[in-house]
Amino acid sequence: MKPTAAFTSLILLAGAAHAAGDAKQGEVIFGRCAMCHTIAKGAGNGMGPNLFGVASKKAASVQGFSYSPALKGANITWTDDKLKAWFANPQKLVPGTRMYFSGIKKPQEADDLIAYMKSKK
């Protein structure tokens, strides 16, 4: 293999490794969310909705939680990309949402949190 091809392969592998989330690390990161959210099957809502099983579902779909009109009308499905945008800046993704959060700026932390949320279904 030529040196340039080897270097390119290493960069691609490093990028792929970064994209994979670590659910155990995500659980630690979720500690920031746990002030307002639960993430256990059958648990009630807190200040925010229970996030159990939310990944890949339509936003504002947790029963028994009073969502803002902005989030109800946003017509969002929680894909990985939408979750990352939400984690980074909820107000930017859905202006008028009631969720005030300073955001998760590190891409790996977002990937880890998504992996954890996906494990809860």
Between CA 71 and CA 95 the distance in angstroms is 8
What is the number of structural domains in the chain? 1
State how far Cα 88 lies from the chain centre: 9
Q: Specify if 31 maps to a domain.
A: yes
Q: Specify if 94 maps to a domain.
A: yes
Q: Specify if 60 maps to a domain.
A: yes
Q: Specify if 5 maps to a domain.
A: no
Quick one: pLDDT at residue 84?
A: 98
Q: Specify if 12 maps to a domain.
A: no
User: Digits of tens for pLDDT over the chain (121 positions)?
Assistant: 555 444 444 444 444 445 699 999 999 999 999 999 999 999 999 999 999 999 999 999 999 999 999 999 999 999 999 999 999 999 999 999 999 888 999 999 999 999 999 999 9
Bridge partners of residue 58, in order along the sequence: 77
Q: Specify if 10 maps to a domain.
A: no
Quick one: pLDDT at residue 11?
A: 46
User: Residue 77 sits in a domain of what CATH number?
Assistant: 1.10.760.10
Domain extent, residue 67, equals 21-119
Quick one: pLDDT at residue 3?
A: 53
Q: Specify if 51 maps to a domain.
A: yes
